[in-house]
Amino acid sequence: MIDDKALVVFSGGQDSTTCLFWAKREFREVYALSYRYGQKHQNEVDLARKIAEKADVPFEVMDIPLIGHLGRNSLTDTSIVMDQEVPERGLPNTFVPGRNMFFMSIAAVYARERGIRHLVTGVSQTDYSGYPDCRDAFVKSLNVTLNLAMDYQFVLHTPLMWIDKAQTWELADQLGVLDLVRNETLTCYNGIQGDGCGHCPSCKLRNDGLHKYLALKATREKLA
Ligand code: ZN
C-alpha cells in the first residue's frame, strides 16, 4: 500500500475500470470522478456509476460541456463522421483537444479539497492512437505543473502507460475482474457496451487485445 487515498479519473471504459480496481488494491480509500463533456454516448456516465457502485467506490460526475464546444471532434459533434483509421498526417478526429489536461486538472483540484494526493489515470502510450495527451512526457509535465499551480505534492499514477491492450486484460484478470471489465465497460465509439460493435477502431484494439490475452492464457494453462 503506497498511501491511503487515491482519486481515479473514471470513464467506465476498459482502461479506467482496470485502473479503478488496481487503485483498490494499492490504496485504502478510492474515489472515482467522471465527466459529462458533451460526449455522444451519455450512457457512458450511467455505466460508470454502476461499476463504481459494484466496486464500492464513491462516485461523482462533473459537468464540463465547454470541452465539447471549444474544439471540433467526432466524439462530441454528431455531424462529423468518425475516423476509422489513424490518418497519415495529423490526429484522428476522435481526438478531443485538451481533454486529458482538463480532466486531470479538475481532478487535482477536487482531490486537493479532499486531502487526496494520488491521482490515477488509464492513459497509455503503448497502443498509441496518436493522442499527445496520453503520452508519458505529458503526464509527467502536467504532474509538475499541478504541483506548482497548487503548491501540493500530487502523484500521478499511470498503471497502463507501458503495457498493451493484451497486458491490460491480463492485469484485469489478475485483479479478478476480467468478466466485469469485459461485460460491463463501454469502450466502443458506437456506444455499445461489452464486446461492442466490433468494427470501430476502439473495438478493434480492445478485441484484438482480448483474443491475444485469452490465447496466451490458454497456452499457459496447457503448459502448466
Ligand atoms: Zn465499436
Arithmetic mean of pLDDT over the chain? 90
In the prediction, which pLDDT does 85 show? 67
In the prediction, which pLDDT does 25 show? 97
How many separate domains does the chain show? 1
Establish if 172 belongs to a structural domain. no
Q: List pLDDT tens digits, range 23-52.
A: 999 999 999 999 998 877 778 899 999 999
Establish if 176 belongs to a structural domain. no
What is the distance between the alpha carbons of residues 18 and 24, in angstroms, rounded to a whole number?
Answer: 10
Q: List pLDDT tens digits, range 153-187.
A: 999 999 999 999 999 999 999 999 999 999 999 99
More confident residue, 89 or 173: 173
CA of 199 to the centre of ligand 1 (A): 5
In the prediction, which pLDDT does 86 show? 65
Beta bridge partners of 62: 35
How confident is the model over 113-129, as a mean pLDDT? 90
CA of 148 to the centre of ligand 1 (A): 39
CA of 94 to the centre of ligand 1 (A): 13
Name the band, by pLDDT with cuts 50, 70 and 90, for residue 98: confident
In the prediction, which pLDDT does 69 show? 77
Decide if pLDDT at 84 tops 70. no
CA of 190 to the centre of ligand 1 (A): 5
Establish if 202 belongs to a structural domain. no
Establish if 188 belongs to a structural domain. no
In the prediction, which pLDDT does 169 show? 98
What is the distance between the alpha carbons of residues 77 and 39, in angstroms, rounded to a whole number?
Answer: 8
Q: List pLDDT tens digits, range 192-204.
A: 999 999 998 889 9
Name the band, by pLDDT with cuts 50, 70 and 90, for residue 1: very low
What is the distance between the alpha carbons of residues 19 and 46, in angstroms, rounded to a whole number?
Answer: 18
CA of 12 to the centre of ligand 1 (A): 15
Establish if 99 belongs to a structural domain. yes
How confident is the model over 98-121, as a mean pLDDT? 96
Establish if 200 belongs to a structural domain. no
In the prediction, which pLDDT does 192 show? 93
More confident residue, 22 or 66: 22
Parallel, antiparallel, or unpaired for β 3-9 and 27-36?
parallel
Q: List pLDDT tens digits, range 50-72.
A: 999 999 999 999 999 887 777 77
Which residue type sits at 119?
Answer: L
Percent of the chain whose predicted confidence (pLDDT) is above 70: 89
CA of 200 to the centre of ligand 1 (A): 4
Q: Which residues, including other chains, have CB under 8 Å from residue 94's CB and lie 6 or more apart?
A: 73, 74, 75, 82, 83, 129, 189, 201
CA of 106 to the centre of ligand 1 (A): 28
In the prediction, which pLDDT does 223 show? 92
In the prediction, which pLDDT does 6 show? 98
Sequence length of the chain is: 224
**Which residues, chain by chain, have CB under 5 Å from ion ligand 1?**
188, 190, 196-197, 200, 203
The residue segments making up the domain with residue 140 are 2-165
Which residue type sits at 67?
Answer: I
What is the DSSP code string of the chain?
Answer: --EEEEEEE--SSHHHHHHHHHHHHHEEEEEEEEEESS-S-THHHHHHHHHHHHTT--EEEEE-THHHHHS--TTT-TTSPPPSS--SSS--TT--TTHHHHHHHHHHHHHHHTT--EEE----STT--S-GGGSHHHHHHHHHHHHHHHT---EEE-TTTT--HHHHHHHHHHTT-HHHHHHH----TT---TT-SS-SHHHHHHHHHHHHHHHHHHHHHHH-
CA of 6 to the centre of ligand 1 (A): 30
CA of 76 to the centre of ligand 1 (A): 16
CA of 82 to the centre of ligand 1 (A): 11
Task: Give the CATH number, domain containing residue 56.
Answer: 3.40.50.620
Neighbours of 56 (CB within 10 A): 8
In the prediction, which pLDDT does 42 show? 75
CA of 107 to the centre of ligand 1 (A): 28
Establish if 184 belongs to a structural domain. no
CA of 91 to the centre of ligand 1 (A): 19
- Residues 181 and 17 sit within 8 Å (Cβ to Cβ): yes
How confident is the model over 88-108, as a mean pLDDT? 84
Establish if 179 belongs to a structural domain. no
